């Protein structure tokens, strides 16, 4: 009984998202019984919930080492690998668990989530359906099946599976989030917004649902939606730059793409600021999002004033820096929409560097420097791609 109590308390704490408290319980148990398999397995889950991926993986591997013939350590290890964004390891671990306990539906859910990380839709769907065959009332498995159908482009099945997930558990925020995600992906932002609002009603701390609601509200704006579609017709891969020596006209494509991205970023800033000021939607935004939007619109307004004055007065030293100020919207927005803190810092640093270049061009009356800043700012749509690729883990 003394051994079981800390394990049960740790499990309850993990369900309540109190990972640090669960960690303390488990470390106390391991201080008394260092070879306790379940304690190592649960400690791995507690650590991964706190973002300590390396130590969590070590604990999960220790649990497997202690009891390789038991399915639970493999199952827990698969969950740790999933959260650490190591889907191949997760697939191997949950495969070992299923070899030992093939009738355990949650293991099929973990397998489906691992294939989700790899965007392997057929295998993800197969795992979700096999889990549903064992437990047809599992709302999370139905949600995963819906995501897989959406990835495969099966609109009818995706909507049906997502609706079924909500029917199975109307109080499950994940089910409503999946329905919203499916509707958003399949082009119905109104229904998506309704689902994301329900998620936030059930769980106000569901941050990803807030992001989804913001995206849905933006896509309900016809101007924003048309700009996004137009921008999506053009490739933005930075590797196209290598085509310039062989095909100089390609530079026109770069110019069109850069301008379209700039216009889209301005439209996004306007949408965010409008929603941030709305009575019903202001709580959806963190202060930094509204401040970035206001900054971008301020750059456009100030730059437009300088540009118009430069044209009227025929003064390049005023007009070109005005255009450069307007172009700074692109690097600022690219930085704000980068998930990795390190990548975001790099892009914000790049934006500050360009702003300094604009200021220097004004002080030295050197419009050529400001013109180069315009080109560099608009080109950030390609510069940001390798930064995100090197800094942000692929999910």
Question: pLDDT-derived band of residue 391, with 50, 70 and 90 as boundaries?
Answer: very low
Question: pLDDT-derived band of residue 5, with 50, 70 and 90 as boundaries?
Answer: confident
Write b or e for each residue in 25-55: b if 16 or more Cβ atoms lie within 10 A of its Cβ, otherwise e.
Answer: bbeebbeeeeebbbbbbbbbbbbbbeebbee
pLDDT, average across residues 4-27: 86
Closest to 107 in 3D by CA, of 77, 83, 137, 84:
77
| Residue 393 pLDDT | 35
| Residue 314 pLDDT | 85
Whether the model clears a pTM of 0.75, i.e. scores above it, the answer is no
- Give the pLDDT confidence of 66-75 residue by residue, as tens digits: 999 999 999 9
Q: Report yes or no: 172 and 150 within 8 Å, Cβ to Cβ.
A: no
In the predicted structure, residue 285 carries a pLDDT above the cut 80 = no
In angstroms, the CA 268 to CA 217 distance is 11
pLDDT, average across residues 26-49: 91
If you average pLDDT over every residue of the chain, what do you get? 84
Q: Report yes or no: 210 and 200 within 8 Å, Cβ to Cβ.
A: yes
Q: Return the ∠ at Cα 130 (arms to 128 and 133), rounded to 5°.
A: 110
Q: Report yes or no: 150 and 119 within 8 Å, Cβ to Cβ.
A: no
Least confident of 27-36, 53-62, 205-214: 205-214
Q: Would you list the DSSP string of 232-250?
A: HTS---GGGGGGTTT-TTH
| Residue 272 pLDDT | 81
Residue % of the chain over a pLDDT of 70: 86
Cα dist from 121 to 89, 106, 127, whole Å? 18, 18, 10
Q: Report yes or no: 83 and 96 within 8 Å, Cβ to Cβ.
A: no
Chain centre to alpha carbon of residue 184: 15
Cα dist from 337 to 81, 319, 334, 340, 385, whole Å? 26, 29, 5, 9, 12
Closest to 88 in 3D by CA, of 103, 99, 77, 101:
77
pLDDT, average across residues 268-277: 82
- Give the pLDDT confidence of 312-362 residue by residue, as tens digits: 888 888 889 999 999 999 999 888 877 567 878 898 999 999 999 999 988
Write b or e for each residue in 137-151: b if 16 or more Cβ atoms lie within 10 A of its Cβ, otherwise e.
Answer: ebbbbbbbbbbbbbb
| Residue 79 pLDDT | 93
In angstroms, the CA 303 to CA 171 distance is 49
- Give the pLDDT confidence of 189-232 residue by residue, as tens digits: 889 988 988 988 888 777 677 777 777 877 776 666 665 665 55
Q: Report yes or no: 98 and 118 within 8 Å, Cβ to Cβ.
A: no
Is the pLDDT higher at 214 or at 178? 178
Q: Report yes or no: 133 and 146 within 8 Å, Cβ to Cβ.
A: no
């Amino acid at each position: 009984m003394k051994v079981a109590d800390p394990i049960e308390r740790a499990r309850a704490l993990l369900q309540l998202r109190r990972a640090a408290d669960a960690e303390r319980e488990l470390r106390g148990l391991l201080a008394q019984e260092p070879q306790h398999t379940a304690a190592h397995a649960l400690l791995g889950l507690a650590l991964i919930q706190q973002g300590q991926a390396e130590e969590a993986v070590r604990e999960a591997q220790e649990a497997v080492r202690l009891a390789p013939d038991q399915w639970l350590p493999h199952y827990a290890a698969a969950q740790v690998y999933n959260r650490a964004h190591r889907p191949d390891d997760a697939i191997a671990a949950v495969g070992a668990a299923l070899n030992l306990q093939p009738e355990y539906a949650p293991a099929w859910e973990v397998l489906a989530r691992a294939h989700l990380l790899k965007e392997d839709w057929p295998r993800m769907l197969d795992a979700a359906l096999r889990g549903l065959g064992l437990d047809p009332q599992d709302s999370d498995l139905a949600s995963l099946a819906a995501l897989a159908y959406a990835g495969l482009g099966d609109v009818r099945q995706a909507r049906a599976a997502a609706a079924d997930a909500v029917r199975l558990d109307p109080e499950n925020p994940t089910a409503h989030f999946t329905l919203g995600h499916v509707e958003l992906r399949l082009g119905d932002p109104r229904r998506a917004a309704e689902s994301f609002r329900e998620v936030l009603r059930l769980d106000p701390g569901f941050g990803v649902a807030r992001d989804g609601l913001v995206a849905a509200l933006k896509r309900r704006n016809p101007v924003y939606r048309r700009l996004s579609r137009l921008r999506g017709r053009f490739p933005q891969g930075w590797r196209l730059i290598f085509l310039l020596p062989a095909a100089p006209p390609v530079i026109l494509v770069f110019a069109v793409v850069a301008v379209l991205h700039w216009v889209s970023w301005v439209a996004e800033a306007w949408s965010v600021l409008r929603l941030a000021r709305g009575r019903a939607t202001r709580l959806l935004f963190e202060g930094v999002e509204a401040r970035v939007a206001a900054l971008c619109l301020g750059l456009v307004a100030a730059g437009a004033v300088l540009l118009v004055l430069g044209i009227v007065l025929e003064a390049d030293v005023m007009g070109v820096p005005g255009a450069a100020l307007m172009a700074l919207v692109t690097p600022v927005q690219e930085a704000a929409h980068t998930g990795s803190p390190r990548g975001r810092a790099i892009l914000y640093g790049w934006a500050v560097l360009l702003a300094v270049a604009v200021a220097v061009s004004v002080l030295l009356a050197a419009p050529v420097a400001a013109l180069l800043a315009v080109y560099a700012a608009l080109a950030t749509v390609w510069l940001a791609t390798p930064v995100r690729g090197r800094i942000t883990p692929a999910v």
